Amino acid sequence: MTWWQKLVSSQSVSEQGQDENVHYGRALKELTGRLKKVGHPRLLDLGLTCGANIEFFIRLGCKVHVDDYATSLMGRPQQIAAQAKSPVSENSFSPRKKKTAGPLVNIPPVDYEEGIFQAVLCWDLFDYLSGPEAAVLAAEINRVTSAGGYLLALFGPAQNTSRRRPRRFRILDDKSVRAETLAGPDYIPHHLANRDIARLFAEYEMGHTVLLKDGTREMLLRKRRRPEQRLREPRMVSLV
């Protein structure tokens, strides 16, 4: 170990305990453990481009695809508050129904073929989306994820409705992630209740759910191999 590696490692141990922006979620650790068992899995990162995250998953043996989808979403004009409050109905989440009544949905497609990814990271993307928009993105994620594939996502807390800036999530190690606030346009985060998430990902089963200190829910979901099974409402399994 070189001298600067010793310096950095000693600093990181002490600073992680003081950094409020670092969260220790088990969902990421669970995901990395599962991916190690898959031979050369394909992973899609839909969050803001982060070199550290790419390197992390490449070291796991993944073939990493990056879409920078978050930047595309942030570039859209902020939706009207009325749309943000639009109810999440049963029809909104049916991936086969292309017609969605209500406000116009402006979500770019995920430009990949069906079922090619064994894991998808969408971080806090759903915080940027209203109900109908979330349904469209969820359908896209479902389409490109293979049967048995995983989805790692963060869903904001219900009590946090104040405007905030976008965040980049940087993986520090297999269980700790740092949220970095960026200098960009503020947005009003949208809240998805657990029952809404269950409807969005009806073809998924809950692998792991972690409730973080700030109320954010870190979830690891797995796409069923039998799509006709319905998903029960997710239950919290741990409190961090």
Partner 1 sequence: MWNRRENETPSTPSRREGRDENITPSRDFVAAPARAGAIHNEGLVNIGQSICIRGELTGDEDLTIEGRVEGKIDLKDHNLTIGPKGRIQAEIRAKSVIVRGEVNGNVHAGERVELAETGRVIGDIVSPRIIIADGARFKGSVDMSGKDVSSRAKQEDRTTTQAAVITDSLESGAPRATARS
Is residue 159 involved in binding partner 1 (CB under 8 A)? no
Structural contact between residues 53 and 73, judged by C-beta atoms closer than 8 angstroms: no
Choices 49-57, 185-193, 215-223, 228-236; region in contact with partner 1 by CB under 8 A: 49-57
Is residue 56 involved in binding partner 1 (CB under 8 A)? yes
Q: How far apart are CA 220 and CA 204, in angstroms?
A: 10
Is residue 185 involved in binding partner 1 (CB under 8 A)? no
Sole binder of partner 1 in the list 34, 167, 168, 217 (CB under 8 A): 168
> What would the two tokens of residue 5 be?
């590696």
Is residue 137 involved in binding partner 1 (CB under 8 A)? no
Sole binder of partner 1 in the list 26, 29, 65, 224 (CB under 8 A): 65
CB of 171 to partner 1, least distance (A): 7
Binding site for partner 1 (CB under 8 A): 2, 5, 8-9, 11-12, 15-16, 19, 49-52, 54-56, 58-61, 63-68, 71, 168, 170-174, 178, 180
